Amino acid sequence: MCDTFVALADVTADGSVLLAKNSDREPNEAHEVVFAPAAAHAPDAELRCTSISIPQVPRTHAVLLGKPYWIWGAEMGANEHGVVIGNEAVFTRVPHEREPGLIGMDLLRLALERAASAEEAVTVMTELLGRYGQAGNCGHTHEFRYHNGFLVADRSEAWILETAGREWAARRVVGADSISNAITTRGAFDRSSPGLVDHAVAEGWSASASAFDFAAAYSDRLYTRFSDAAARQCRTSDALAATRGRVDVAGAWALLGDHGDRAERRTGWSPAKHPMAGLTGATVCMHAGLGPVRGSQTTGSWVSHLPPGGPDTHWVSGTSAPCLSLRRPLWFDALDARGVPATGPRPDGTATPGSLWWDHEVLHRLVLRDYAALRPLIAQDRAAVQAEIDGLAAVAASGSVQDRVEASRTAFALAEAALARWTKAVGDAAPKPGWGAHALAWRRFDRAAKLA
């Protein structure tokens, strides 16, 4: 389960465009941040995506991606032209194609590699969708198939593209908007697949073309309900509305780390005491618990800051749990031929000492033993380190390429040193693992990752 939101220039504090996303995946499905430079390709080149190969284009743009380690595509990313995309799983009535095709994460990466604007990215994805369909397993340890929604932005506009099989609708964003694991498009949209409405009427999902409602006609109500998408989308939309004109990077990151939902407002329950409480429901910052409904956690977080005159700053965690993580700045001109600053060995599905993602995951799992008592141990230092990183980034954004190179390297080094301090402090204070339902679930996750 994931959440993505965007704020356009008329609602942000500095006239920039902001796009933010959490990637929620299985607890041991390590997330990685990777850079791929622009490249030229031979006329007959083939491109291997996650499940199928397709013809390559003559030239691809440089891309920065946040992705599950085993997937070719990505959950979120940006390209050198200032196009940024985040995807969401959505659950629909359209049967899943059994023959392999492109998965949603492949469509996202292909659009970033091939499009120079947000609207062009929508065109790239929808043309590929019509040609190859969306099909294939997206689950790490078990089969999981779904259709996709996308939030696509550049420095001037944003689009929401939502799909059901090969059918789709797209609409321009006004001001700010958010998507979660549900179709949000109703009867008004700017572009669509040719058969979107007629297919729904023919299937009896819509009484008539004039009464067509995309979400009502195509959504699988059971899966959508259990994703708790409506509550999370309300949470992010309400927060954007409440801060209209003041939306900034820090606020976007805080929203990615939010644990509140409708249950909090209704009952007074405080998620700060235990973000995994309950066997159902989901929050924007997701922590796994006893499955199958609570089987996901936020494995990576991202905020892109696109000011009118550039340079774009892409803030990444490279780790799980944005409520416990630091955001690190990356710039395309500082990545060219240098790549992402060192984050240790490439992670996979088992614990890899020295890997940024797995080292942070050790801290995360320690904190979950007593969230209310252990998170405050790092709060003050976390705020101070983030302020130092933010200061470096502010200076570098208006400086030289070398300034940005050094700022990224320093930010990653500061975060690495902080993580070592926090892990020791929390480890010294953490109780032994308990025997409640969620503790038992995490024992299983740890054994599978060879952390136990």
Q: In the 8-state DSSP scheme, what is residue 56?
A: P
Is the sign of the CA dihedral 329, 90, 67, 42 positive or negative? negative
Which candidate in 2, 138, 285, 323 is catalytic?
2
Peptide bond into 433 cis (omega under 30): no
234 is catalytic: no
Amino acid making up residue 340: V
**What span, in angstroms and rounded, lies between the C-alpha atoms of 432 and 90?**
38
Q: Quick check: 147 and 135 in contact, CB under 8 A?
A: no
**What span, in angstroms and rounded, lies between the C-alpha atoms of 298 and 452?**
21
What would the 3-class secondary structure string for 277-308 be?
CCCCCCCCCCCCCCCCCCCCEEEEEEEEEECC
> What is the Cα 431 distance to its own chain's centre?
31
Element (H, E) at 342: none
Q: Which two tokens stand for residue 121?
A: 């990215």
347 backbone φψ class: left, alpha, beta (φ>0; ψ -120 to 50): beta
Q: Which two tokens stand for residue 320?
A: 């799980």
Q: Quick check: 69 and 31 in contact, CB under 8 A?
A: yes
Catalogue the active-site residues: 2
